[in-house]
Structure 1
Amino acid sequence: MKMYLISDNIDTYTGMRLAGVEGVVIHERSELKDALEQAISDKEIGIILLTEKFGREFPEIIDEVRLHHKTPLIIEIPDRHGTGRKPDFITSYVNEAIGLKL
């Protein structure tokens, strides 16, 4: 199983390539759709890494893929500018998912 990066900047792409993760740098909505379709069609890809910018700008595309495809797993990662998430993002996500306050 492989990971695949869809990035909006060359710095994140370069760092992930140094770690052995293949990927692509894109900037437009249509490019994102094409890159996701290509990654989904490759059965060796088990995890798609997306920079958070795509999650903020095109959430409907990401949500549609998550709803209609069991695999690959889509994970949003921060880029060189840091994360746009709150500091307690993981705790609030777990609280929301399981209904218990930690």
Structure 2
Amino acid sequence: MRMYLISDNVDTYTGMRLAGVDGVVIHSKKHLKEQLDKSIADKTIGVILITEKFSREFPELIDDVKLNRRLPLIVEIPDRHGTGRKPNFITDYVNEAIGLKL
């Protein structure tokens, strides 16, 4: 299985290409939907890396894949501008997921 990047900027795409990850740069909801469908249909792709900007702008597309499919796994990554998450994101996630305060 391989990873595939769907990015909204060339810098993230270039960095991932240097790491050996193939992908595409897109800028619209229509193209995001097309690329997601194409990536899901490709059985060699096990992980789709997607920039956080797309997750914030089009959550209905991303959440549909996350909730209704086992593969590929979608992993949201920050772009060159940094993450849109709070500094204690991981701790809050664990607290919410298992109800354990760390």
TM-score class, shorter-chain normalisation, is over 0.9
Distance 1:41 1:14 in 2: 24
Shift in Å at residue 22 of structure 1? 0.3
Tell me what 1:76 maps to: 76
Tell me what 2:96 maps to: 96
TM-score w.r.t. length of structure 1: 0.97
Tell me what 2:5 maps to: 5
Paired residues in the alignment total: 102
Q: Which runs of 5+ in 2 are unaligned?
A: none
Alignment of 1:1-102 (within 5 A): 1-102=1-102
Q: Which runs of 5+ in 1 are unaligned?
A: none
The RMSD of aligned alpha carbons is 0.6
What amino acid does structure 2 have at the position aligned with 1:57?
A: E
What amino acid does structure 2 have at the position aligned with 1:70?
A: R
Task: Detail structure 1 runs of 4+ shifted over 6 Å in the superposition.
Answer: none
Partner of 1:83: helix, strand, or coil? coil
TM-score w.r.t. length of structure 2: 0.97
Shift in Å at residue 7 of structure 1? 0.1
